[in-house]
Amino acid sequence: MKTLYFIVIVFLYIFSFYVPLAGNSIYIAFLLSVPLYNKRTSFYFLKFTRASFFLSAMILLLMVFSYYAVATVAVGVNDFSLLKIYAGILVYGGIGAFIALVIFSNTEDEFIIHKLLYFCLLIQAFIILLSFANSSIKEFFDIFRTENSIEVANRYYGGGIRGLALSGSQFFGLSVLLSSMTYFCCVLEFQLKNRTWFYVTILFCSIVFLSVGRTAIFGLIFGFLFLVLNFTKNYAFFLKFLVSCASIVAVLIMLYPIIDPAIASKLNNFIAFAFEAVINYMEYGKFHTSSTDVLSNMYYSLPIDTLIHGDVQYTNSDGLYYGDTDAGYMRHVLALGLPMTCILMFSFYIISSYTRFLFDVNNRKVAFGLFFVMLIILHYKGEVFWTLLSETGLVIFLSVYGYAFRMAGLKSNSCTMK
């Protein structure tokens, strides 16, 4: 029962969705975790707030936002929208750290974090599938979705294939979050039990998550890359995985003719969206999507002054993106300049570095390295480092758990493919 309780808390925290009368679900997660607070939690929390990696990251982050606050006033722009995100970081990060330490100090299961992430992914995939298959269920969950996300989702093929998750962050933001969770699940599963069926379910979830955004597949890609890099002699493992996947595909193909026509129509729209790059390659000989076409126009040359110190503006007065771009690197450079953008990214590297202690010592460098490379790539499309609060919350949650894991002198078990 305690594990189920933790799953509820983590789901409410990670996906941080709107709850009628209560506001954001992260506050409910916090309230549910308060009764479990104990002396052990207090000990680790005090240790964490004094940890050098945490203080270093916060000092660098404060430096960046202080520069922005002073500069935007000095040049007369007076755009403080970026500072509001800084306040959000403190809230998300503080609650995430608290929940991580509450869970750690109330369980004897050293690897419960693996179960929590996995079941949160399964639940989210199940909610998306239900919303996809039944309009009444979708309408029920729309209560917990923002009007803007519902409106945007309806622009795609008449609605019904996107914006189906139970999450405050939708589309790209949620894609990054799901990718990170998927990657950690793959690596932790490799260390613990390395079960073929587990990877098959992760593959299935990743396909479902394509309705959120095509970038959701990055977690599976980098997770598979990690497995390949750690591949030793067991060809049977990959053979079982491929056979299992082929069997599932065969069953789905056989079931397709008897699917309800309305669902079949939405399924066709989903395939057209999710596999647009593959379809375009087959038809035109080039991998591209409508999103990549738009993204290519969001990167453009900047004057040297902007590169050095930025325009210290994050959004326009009407709330739209400054510079007509939502590409990650462009938004940060336009607001902060290149030097401060590098400092911002480095501070995120520091705070995320303690996630590596969740990994086996033999795989630690490779596992964390691949994770951060994935984030660097995803940041090309949209903001990931710090300003994507959902991802920041997840990273702080995992880093603090990794910190407690290390403080307790625990070591990750390893299960290699022999």
Report the pLDDT value the prediction gives residue 277, as an integer from 0 to 100: 81
* Angle 50-54-59 from CA coordinates, rounded to 5°: 100
Position 67 pLDDT exceeds 70: yes
The dihedral through the CA atoms of 171, 173, 175, 181 has a sign that is negative
Which residues are CB-neighbours of 148 under 8 A, at least 6 positions away?
Answer: none
More confident residue, 260 or 335: 335
Return d(Cα 414, Cα 412) in angstroms, integer.
6
Which residue ranges make up each domain of the chain?
2-407
Beta-bridge mates of residue 321: 315
Stretch 162-169: mean pLDDT, rounded? 88
Position 251 pLDDT exceeds 90: no
Share of the chain above pLDDT 70, in %: 94
More confident residue, 323 or 115: 115
**pLDDT averaged over every residue in the chain:** 86
The token pair at 205 is 């979830």
Largest CA distance in the chain: 66
The token pair at 4 is 């189920």
Report the pLDDT value the prediction gives residue 414, as an integer from 0 to 100: 47
* pLDDT band of 410, cuts 50, 70, 90: low
Position 302 pLDDT exceeds 50: yes
Q: Report the first-to-last Cα separation within the chain, whole angstroms.
A: 35
Position 416 pLDDT exceeds 50: no
- 106 close to 2: Cβ distance less than 8 angstroms: yes
Position 373 pLDDT exceeds 60: yes
Which residues are CB-neighbours of 165 under 8 A, at least 6 positions away?
Answer: 15, 124, 127, 128, 174, 212
* pLDDT band of 49, cuts 50, 70, 90: confident
